[in-house]
Structure 1
Amino acid sequence: MPRIRDILVAPRRWALWRQGPRVVVYCLASEVVAVVLTLRPSPIAIDRRTLLILAALLVLGVVQAETGRRVERIRRRVSGSPHINMTSVWTFAGVLLLPPLLLTLLVAGLYAHLAIRSWYRLQRVPASRTVSNAAIILLSCYAAQSVLRASGVHDIRAAMTAGWTGTFATAAAGLTFFVVNALLVLPARREVGRTPAALFGSWSDNGLEIATLCLGALNALALATLPGLVVLVFPPLLLLHRTVLVKQLEVAAHRDEKTGLYNTSGWHALAERTLAATARQQGTFGILMLDLDHFKQVNDTYGHLAGDAVLRAVAQSIISAVRGRGDAVGRFGGEEFVVLLPGITQPDIGAVAERIRRTISALKVPMGHLSIKGLSVSIGIAVYPNAGTSLQRLLDAADTALYHAKATGRNKVVHVADLV
């Protein structure tokens, strides 16, 4: 368990300064904007009932976080995408119930608890990241409140008396929270992905966020009418939490831990489904077998940690060079990769393979004060059905082409059809 002096890091040693200039400037700017908006005058008076609602949301949020602590620890460990927590259940309820100042206290309290819990019970998340996340959530809350009030509805109680206008205003506030939060998070990330899933998360990730916002609206409705009913939010919330974990574990079981690509079993399962669908439709698909040239020299020269960094960088390079949605990249162990290209024709697959080869040749992997460069890859190509009508025959054909590329000089693409 860390000591207090380990947590209270001197400002010059903050992890924030190790990020790129863009991230540092954006994080500081978003935090300043959040503070300025918090200090602006509010037309809503703070009374005893509002303070009790703030206390209830804080207590319930902490209790929920502690109740789902073990599930959350596993979710963080297996998650390969930007992590989505459950705080929207309480923060969006605050949007619908609290004035800006108390909403700030709610967000600050919930994220202060998350920061302490991450140090003592989960992974050690830098304090600067927690502060930045809290500022982004607060800005999302303010944007949602602005939309709510622009509709002539100040809170959930006013929405209840406004009929359908109140319903649409509440829905618009939730949608605003969702969109603004998704957009504000992007510049705060050191590495921004290129695919929609890397940018905004998977469908299940976004579904989780929408579900928590819906529960937040019901939470606010309960607190505004029959506060005792707020405890009914807990069973579906905890069940949702565990359901998401099961989904993440299923995904993790088919992913390579080192690179995040499909592992052998995951890629095989997807390829078999693609083969069956292609056979029914009398279509075509291609397979690329890739092997990094002289990868052992990287491990021998720079060490195995550097080798792992190279594998991760190569994996991302392959992903960036394929066509996008539908193409599946897997790691078959060691320095060997495989790519599934559904619906591709024989003339086009060579262009994809060459693009991958050039991308990897231009790769520079930072390693301390040095950078690892001069990487190359040999690629073998096989296309269904010409190279085979079973998955194993296609893999064998692609592997034969790969072996020929290795034996004739490396750093080249060889199509199995050219060997006939």
Structure 2
Amino acid sequence: MWTFAGVLVLPSGLALALGLLIYLHLWLRVWRGMSHRPAYRVVYCAAAIVLSCLASGVIVAGWNGLPVGFTGSLRIVEAAAVFTAANAFIVALSVYLHTGARSPRSLFGSGDDNLLEVTTLVLGTSTALGIVHAPALVPFVLLPVLVLHRSVLVRQLEIAANIDGKTGVLNAHAWHLLSERELSSAARAKSKLGVLMLDLDHFKQVNDVYGHLAGDVVLKVVATTISEHVRDYDSVGRFGGEEFVVLLPGATETEVIPVAERVRQAVMDIEVEVGTASGPRTVRGLSVSIGVAVYPSGGTVLERLLHVADSALYQAKRNGRNRVVSLAAA
């Protein structure tokens, strides 16, 4: 909202600086420490906003002040459309290159996501018009802005309550609730859904050799690695101890297994420096065993899917660890 308002009323340099400051504030106050919001994603999103500002700034640059009247309204809508299209294209390109996803929902977000985006643009336009033409009315514009911010903040607090404090991914309870909803959606849409059950191999040795504090650091890095190598709209949870789960909406078995293999390889590549009583040391040589289950062939209720994925996980353990097993493919 503030970014688009800045595009309309500020010089281009200040508008860009405003966008960067907003993302820096969000990183410091909200997103830092969340595994699903790693720094590189925040940087990419900030860059997307900067490019969107530049794109819409091309439209705004030809104005002599903020336009008014019907024609002026159309020009503002044009600037908003360019801003939205540029941002959507950049984000969709990132999602496609990172995950290979092709569905409109995966690339461009849900209807609620886009409705929120339109709402923020409308409020940004109203704020800009108020600042330029009727400063005394700006407080009336800010009231719905504060309500919107409060509702978003409440949502963010709800998300924080669902996060596992040690790893930054969903806790088991939150993951179950989300998975039940996704399973119901898959049943209504007659679509597929994948579940991964992951267990860090020989994690007790990490605790024994490097200490439990170092083990906590390793768990955090593993959780972040998993989150970075699944799709943006997949849900990663900590199931307990060194065990994680991933829900992959809309994924068939042929799509789930490559994701699991990508995660397995990424965990093998981890090198993390930890503090020990004898000084800094590097933990490497980690591996993970992964079991796969797919709805509906693996089960039509969540507990059955988890049981199938867990059985596949232990088959991976028995087969020598550091591998992906799907009982359906066995």
Per-residue deviation, 1:208: 5.6
What residue is the counterpart of 1:20 in the other structure?
Answer: none
Residue matched to 2:261: 354
Are positions 1:415 and 2:326 aligned together?
yes
**What is the alpha-carbon distance in structure 2 between the residues aligned to residue 275 and residue 139 of structure 1?**
37
Show structure 1 runs of 5+ residues with no match. 1-85, 126-133, 186-192
Measured against aligned partners, the alpha-carbon deviations of 1:199-223 in whole angstroms (never above 9, x if no partner) come to: 9999877766654443333233234
Identity fraction in percent: 48
Corresponding position: 1:276 with 2:184: yes
Counterpart in the other structure of 2:6: 91
Matches within 5 A, 1:110-189: 144-150=56-62, 153-156=63-66, 159-160=67-68, 163-164=70-71, 166-175=72-81
**Which amino acid letter does the alignment assign opposite residue 249 of structure 1?**
L
1:149-191 Cα deviation digits (max 9, x unpaired):
32xx2112xx126x41x22332344455667789999xxxxxx
Shift of 1:375: 0.6
Q: Following the alignment from structure 1 to structure 2, what is the Cα–Cα distance between the partners of residues 183 and 281?
A: 27
Q: 2:170 aligns with which of 242, 252, 262?
A: 262
Secondary structure of the residue aligned to 1:337 is strand
Partner Cα distance (1:232, 1:404) in 2: 62
Q: Which has the larger radius of gyration?
A: 1
What amino acid does structure 2 have at the position aligned with 1:266?
A
User: For 1:340, what is the secondary structure of its paired residue?
Assistant: strand
Residue aligned with 1:155, SS:
coil
Deviations, residues 359-386 of structure 1 (Å, cap 9, x unaligned): 3222233558754320111122334445
> Normalised by the size of structure 1, how large is the TM-score?
0.55
- Unaligned segments of structure 2, at least 5 residues: 33-45, 92-96
1:340 is matched with which residue? Answer: 247
Q: Which residue of structure 1 lines up, in the alignment, with residue 307 of structure 2?
A: 396
Contact 1:329/1:339 (8 A) holds in 2: yes
Query: Residue 382 in 1 paired to residue 315 in 2?
Result: no
Q: What is aligned with 1:7?
A: none
**How many residues are paired up?**
301
Structure 2 length-normalised TM: 0.67
Maintained 8 Å contact 1:88/1:209: no
Name the amino acid aligned to 1:391: L
Distance in 2 (alpha carbons) for counterparts of 1:395 and 1:335: 16
Q: CA RMSD in A?
A: 4.8
Q: Deviations over 1:277-304 (max 9, x none)?
A: 4445665544221100122333344444
1:239 to 133, 140, 147: 147
2:201–2:322 Cα contact (<8 Å) kept: yes
